Structures are given as structure tokens and as C-alpha cells.
């Protein structure tokens, strides 16, 4: 058997597989679009990422957190939708079909939590970038609010401790004043100055609560207020009483001890909580949580209520997973802001790795669907591989026509080469121009099953088995995808091109 003949048969078979693969790809793409497979798969992958495994991904708190992520403006804005009735009607139709499909899934599974939904939305994005996800998750976990409220809590404690230290010095002074003759005006001035210091510290804490100044500015102004108070105390006393000078020295020593360095005062006061402390605060049994409850004696406090509500809204499994990432981030972070930045990077990297694995799962699932579609298409089109090879090997005109069209298609595709992974081929045009050896025609069935033998009472069992096996081979071949067959067609064409391209068949125009 001559090599050109074998190559022509191979070209014809590959070309038919290519055409059917393109049809199967369009069918699969249509189904994926209507049923929103990509969006559903992405959401389920996010739920598994948040939960840590498939079983916990069905938990109510995981579903609720995922809904919050999807309704976040940053994520919601990625799902762009067209405007106008004509533009939105097809999308609304696909949303309706997809919603009914998910509803049927719910009825089958008998579990609301086992069904993937998009919350109150009809559709969802098919792609979310890692940075958007990380930013949204940090926001929905209320980490910035936890940082703010913990800072407020510690600033209140810092204020009370500083005032109490000054108050302790003044209490010692008060005892000595009672035993000595001292001007009532001096006593009054000392008392008024302390009241002013207390008011200034309270106002500064309120300024921070109202986001008027940052923590560095607040502590710097607290330092200035204490320095002013000590200076006023020095101006109020006289040189006659030694115990007043001793009190002044104590106040000066206290001032220098507290505010010798503002940055050090902030660190010692814990006024810039590190990211690991914030995540520990999410754990009700942690030392940070105990510190909060010990510091705030009033459970009706607005700060206490806010922090408690934030903590109670977090799923335990999320807290555990985020804690691991936070510890890794804390080792490299020198400040709260840097810790959040590193944590965001860790979350982004974790999300990207998870989506890479989810993409592999989606491809495997898509390949399984492609095989089912391929076999269905092979049966529906009666694309029997054995019959196709038989027709191509015996019908010279058909073989030359298909080979010529294959050569023409390759050349046209190469001349309009685009970077698209999918070959640009007009399947409808090719099907109209060429009568492929497929379909449920009498001619094909006569060759495949020997209809005359069936009429005479015989059953061609082996022919039927051969046809079924031919369908299966064609179905698997179709599932290989159009890019695979297009590349293979190009390679076979290069081998065959040692000679001239065949002339079009005489009766090609008649088809």
C-alpha cells in the first residue's frame, strides 16, 4: 500500500474528527454558558478554600461568608452586565435556566447547604483575581475594624494608666499638704491642671475614635500635654516647701520614663497591634481575648460589643486557617500595616494556588463531559470510525475532495493566523460543501449493517458491534478537542507536502 494513499486516508479521517470536534466544542461551550459551569465551579472552589475541605464547605457559616464575598462591591463589579432589553434578555434567559437547574439539584440533594447558589444574585463572575479576593476576604473578616477597635481599647487603657500614674504622685503629695501650711490657691491650681490634663487625654482618645488623627499624632500630643502639665506644676509651686520640689522631680521622672521616645511608648502600649494579635483576637480562648475582657469591665461598652460581634460572626475553621497565615506573615512584618500587606500577599498566593488546582479539576470534569458529548455526537451523526475509513479508502472522489478541502482549510487558517488556541474554521460552510461519510443515510447503513441481510432474516451481530465500537472510538477522538486535531492535521500535511496538493474533484461543485 502506497504511503500517499495512507496519508490521504489519515488526512480525511483527521479532518472529519476536526469538524466534529469543533461542533462538540460549540455544544459544550453553549452548555457551560447556559448552566454557568465556570461560575458555579469557581464559587465551590472558594467555599472549599475557605473551609479547608469539601465536607466543611457545606457549613452554613462558610456559605454566608462566601455570600458576603460575592456581594462585596469589589467582587460584584467584576461581573459586568450589558444594558438594554435586547442585550440582557439572552443573559436573563440563561440565568433562568441555570437557576432552575440548581433548583433541581437542590431537590435531588435534599440539602440547601449542598447546593451552589449565588446568594441574591442571578449570576456570578467566572474569574476573580487573587488580589481582589485577598482584599475582599480581609475586609469581610473585619480585620481593619478589629485593628481599629483593639487600638481604641488599648489607647483607653494607655490613657488611664498614664493618668493613674500622675494621680498616684498627687495622692502622695496630698498627704503632705494636709500636714503643712500650703496656700489654697496652689492646691487649687494643681487640681485644675490635673483636670485639664484628664480632659485633654479624653479629647485625644475621642479624636482617634473619630478618625481625626492617627495613633502616632495622638501619642505625640499626649506627650505634649503631659510636658505642659509638668511645666505648669513647676510654675505653681514655691521654693519654701521641699516636698513640692520632690513631687516635681517625680513628675519629671515619670514624664521622661513614659515619653522619652514616642515610638517606644506606642510599642510598649501595644497601640499598633500586630497581625498575629488581631487573628488571635478572633479566637475566644486566646490571651488577647482574655486581655480584652479583663480591660473592659463593662460588657455594655460599645467597643466591647463591636469586637464581640465581629468575633462571633467568624467561622472557627476560617479563624484557624487565617491564624496559620498570620503567623507566617508576622515573622516578616515590622508594623501593623506591613503585617496586613504580607497577610494579603499570603492570601493571594493561597488563592492562586487553590485556583490552579481547581482549574485542573475543572479541566478533568470538562474532559469527562467532552467524552459524553463526543460519544453522543458520534451516535447522533452516525460517525463510525471504521465506516469512515472504509469509505475513504474505497471512494477516490470523496477522499480527494476531503483532502483538498483539508489542504485549503489549513492554508486559509495559516494565512489568517491568530494567537487563538481554537482554529478559525467555518464548520457550517464545510458541511454544506462536502458530503462527509457520516449520517443515518441508507447508503451508510447499507455499508455498515448490510440491510439486505437483515431483510432476509439475518442479524449482523458483528457489524452492529463494529458500529458501536466505531462510535466509541469517534466519541473519544472528538473529545480530544479541535486544537489537537488541527495540530495533527498540520503535521500530517507537512509530511504529505512532499508532492503537490491534489486538484479539486470534478464533481466538487456539484456537491
The whole-number pLDDT of residue 52 equals 79
Instruction: Provide the domain limits for residue 400.
Output: 3-23+378-496
Answer for the pair 505, 23: CB distance below 8 angstroms, yes or no.
no
Is 178 within the bounds of a domain?
Answer: yes
Please, what is the angle between helix 60-71 and helix 130-140, to 10°? 120
- At 377, the pLDDT band (50, 70, 90 cuts) reads very high
Buried b (16+ CB within 10 A) or exposed e, 461-470: eebeebbeeb
Comparing C-alpha atoms, which of 136, 155, 140, 162 is closest to residue 303?
155
Indicate whether 383 belongs to any domain: yes
Closest CA to 50 of 179, 122, 137, 164: 137
Closest to 165 in 3D by CA, of 175, 176, 157: 157
| CA pair distance 310, 173, nearest whole angstrom | 45
What Å distances lie between residue 277 and 125, 282, 322, 456, CA to CA? 34, 9, 12, 87
**Which of these three, 240, 268, 296, is where a domain ends?**
268
Average pLDDT over residues 252-278: 86
Task: Identify whether 95 is part of a domain.
Answer: no
pLDDT band for 395, please (50, 70, 90 cuts): confident
**Cα distance from N-terminal residue to C-terminal residue, the chain:** 29
Q: Domain end: 268, 293, 325, which one? A: 268
pLDDT of residue 246 exceeding 80: yes
The helix or strand, by DSSP H or E, that contains position 336, with its residue range, turns out to be helix 336-380
Q: 455 in helix, strand or coil?
A: helix
What does the DSSP 8-state code read for residue 57? G
Mean pLDDT of the region 33-60: 83
Q: What is the pLDDT of residues 290-339, one digit of tens each?
A: 766 666 555 556 666 666 666 666 667 777 777 777 766 666 766 677 77
Q: Diameter of the chain by CA atoms? A: 138
Please check whether residue 320 lies inside any domain of the structure: no
Q: Is 127 strand, coil or helix?
A: coil
**481 or 291, which is more confident:** 481
The last residue of a domain, from among 219, 248, 268 = 268
Tell whether the model's pLDDT for residue 34 goes beyond 60.
yes
The mean pLDDT value for 214-242 works out to 88
Q: Residue 306: inside a domain, yes or no?
A: no
Model pTM above 0.85: no
What is the model's pLDDT at position 107?
Answer: 43
pLDDT in tens, 412-470: 776 665 555 556 676 766 766 677 888 888 888 887 777 555 555 566 788 888 899 99
- For residues 113 and 5, the model is more confident at 5
Give how many domains the chain has, as a whole number.
Answer: 2
Q: Is 319 left (phi over 0), alpha (psi -120 to 50) or beta?
A: alpha
pLDDT at 108 over 50: no
Residue 339: the pLDDT is: 75
Round the average pLDDT of the chain to a whole number and report it.
78
Q: How confident is the model at residue 185 (pLDDT cuts 50, 70, 90)?
A: low
300, part of any domain: no
pLDDT of 4 over the 60 cut: yes
Residue/partner pairs of 379-383 with CB below 8 Å, 24 or more apart: 379/471, 379/475, 381/20, 381/438, 381/439, 382/438, 382/439, 382/440, 382/444, 382/445, 382/448, 382/471, 383/16, 383/20, 383/438, 383/470, 383/471, 383/474, 383/478
> What sign has the CA pseudo-torsion 452, 453, 455, 459?
negative
pLDDT at 230 over 80: yes
Q: Is residue 302 part of a domain?
A: no
- The residue ranking higher by pLDDT, 412 or 154, is 154
DSSP string, 157-172: HHHHHHHHHHHHHHHH
Has residue 509 got a pLDDT over 50? no
Is residue 366, in this structure, part of any structural domain at all? no
What was the pLDDT predicted at 330?
A: 67
* Rounded distance between C-alpha atoms, residue 110 and residue 112, angstroms: 7
Q: Is the distance from CB of 163 to CB of 197 less than 8 angstroms?
A: yes
DSSP string, 466-482: HHHHHHHHHHHHHHT-H
Write out the three cell numbers for 455: 431483510
Q: Is the torsion defined by CA of 274, 279, 284, 286 positive or negative?
A: negative
d(CA 268, CA 220): 14
Residue-level pLDDT at 331: 66
274 by DSSP, 3-state: which? Answer: coil
Which triple of cell numbers denotes residue 407? 489542504
Q: Find all residues with CB under 8 Å of 267, minimum gap 6, and list them.
A: none
Amino acid at each position: 500500500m502506497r504511503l500517499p494513499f495512507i496519508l490521504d486516508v489519515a488526512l480525511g479521517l483527521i479532518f472529519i474528527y476536526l469538524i466534529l470536534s469543533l461542533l462538540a466544542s460549540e455544544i459544550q461551550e453553549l452548555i457551560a454558558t447556559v448552566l454557568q459551569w465556570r461560575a458555579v465551579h469557581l464559587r465551590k472552589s472558594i467555599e472549599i478554600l475557605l473551609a479547608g475541605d469539601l465536607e466543611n464547605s457545606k457549613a452554613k457559616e462558610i456559605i454566608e461568608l462566601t455570600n458576603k464575598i460575592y456581594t462585596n462591591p469589589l467582587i460584584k463589579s467584576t461581573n459586568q452586565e450589558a444594558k438594554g432589553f435586547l442585550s440582557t434578555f439572552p443573559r436573563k434567559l440563561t440565568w433562568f435556566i441555570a437557576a432552575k437547574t440548581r433548583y433541581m439539584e437542590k431537590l435531588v440533594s435534599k440539602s440547601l447547604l449542598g447546593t451552589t447558589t449565588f446568594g441574591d444574585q442571578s449570576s456570578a463572575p467566572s474569574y476573580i483575581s487573587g488580589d481582589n479576593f485577598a482584599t475582599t476576604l480581609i475586609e469581610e473578616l473585619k480585620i481593619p475594624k478589629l485593628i481599629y477597635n483593639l487600638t481604641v481599647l488599648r489607647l483607653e487603657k494607655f490613657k488611664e494608666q498614664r493618668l493613674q500614674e500622675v494621680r498616684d504622685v498627687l495622692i502622695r503629695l496630698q498627704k503632705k499638704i494636709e500636714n503643712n501650711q500650703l496656700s489654697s490657691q496652689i492646691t487649687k491650681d494643681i487640681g485644675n491642671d490635673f483636670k485639664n490634663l484628664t480632659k485633654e487625654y479624653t479629647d485625644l482618645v475621642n479624636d482617634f475614635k473619630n478618625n481625626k488623627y492617627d495613633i502616632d499624632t495622638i501619642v505625640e500630643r499626649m506627650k505634649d500635654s503631659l510636658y505642659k502639665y509638668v511645666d505648669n506644676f513647676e510654675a505653681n509651686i514655691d521654693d519654701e516647701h521641699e516636698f513640692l520640689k520632690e513631687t516635681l522631680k517625680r513628675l519629671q521622672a515619670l514624664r521622661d520614663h513614659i515619653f522619652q521616645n514616642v515610638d517606644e511608648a506606642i510599642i510598649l502600649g501595644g497601640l499598633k497591634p500586630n497581625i498575629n494579635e488581631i487573628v488571635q483576637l478572633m479566637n475566644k480562648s486566646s490571651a488577647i481575648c482574655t486581655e480584652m475582657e479583663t480591660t473592659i469591665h463593662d460588657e455594655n461598652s460599645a467597643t466591647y460589643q463591636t469586637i464581640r460581634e465581629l468575633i462571633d460572626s467568624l467561622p472557627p475553621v476560617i479563624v484557624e486557617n487565617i491564624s496559620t497565615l498570620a503567623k507566617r506573615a508576622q515573622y516578616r512584618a515590622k508594623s501593623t500595616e506591613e503585617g496586613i500587606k504580607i497577610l494579603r500577599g499570603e492570601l493571594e498566593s493561597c488563592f492562586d494556588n487553590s485556583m490552579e488546582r481547581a482549574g485542573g479539576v475543572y479541566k478533568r470534569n470538562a474532559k469527562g463531559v467532552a467524552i459524553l458529548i463526543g460519544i453522543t455526537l458520534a451516535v447522533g451523526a452516525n460517525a463510525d470510525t471504521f465506516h469512515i475509513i472504509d469509505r475513504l479508502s474505497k471512494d477516490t472522489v470523496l477522499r480527494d475532495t476531503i483532502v483538498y478541502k483539508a489542504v485549503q482549510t489549513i492554508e486559509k487558517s495559516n494565512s489568517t493566523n491568530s494567537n487563538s488556541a481554537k482554529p478559525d474554521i467555518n464548520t457550517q460552510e464545510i458541511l454544506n460543501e462536502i458530503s462527509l461519510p457520516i449520517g443515518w443515510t441508507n447508503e451508510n447503513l447499507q455499508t455498515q449493517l448490510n440491510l439486505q441481510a437483515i431483510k432476509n432474516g439475518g442479524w449482523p451481530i458483528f457489524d452492529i458491534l463494529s458500529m458501536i465500537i466505531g462510535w466509541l472510538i469517534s466519541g473519544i477522538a472528538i473529545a480530544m478537542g479541535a486544537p489537537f486535531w488541527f495540530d495533527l492535521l498540520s503535521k500530517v500535511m507537512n509530511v504529505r507536502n512532499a508532492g503537490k496538493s491534489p486538484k479539486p474533484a470534478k464533481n466538487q461543485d456539484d456537491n
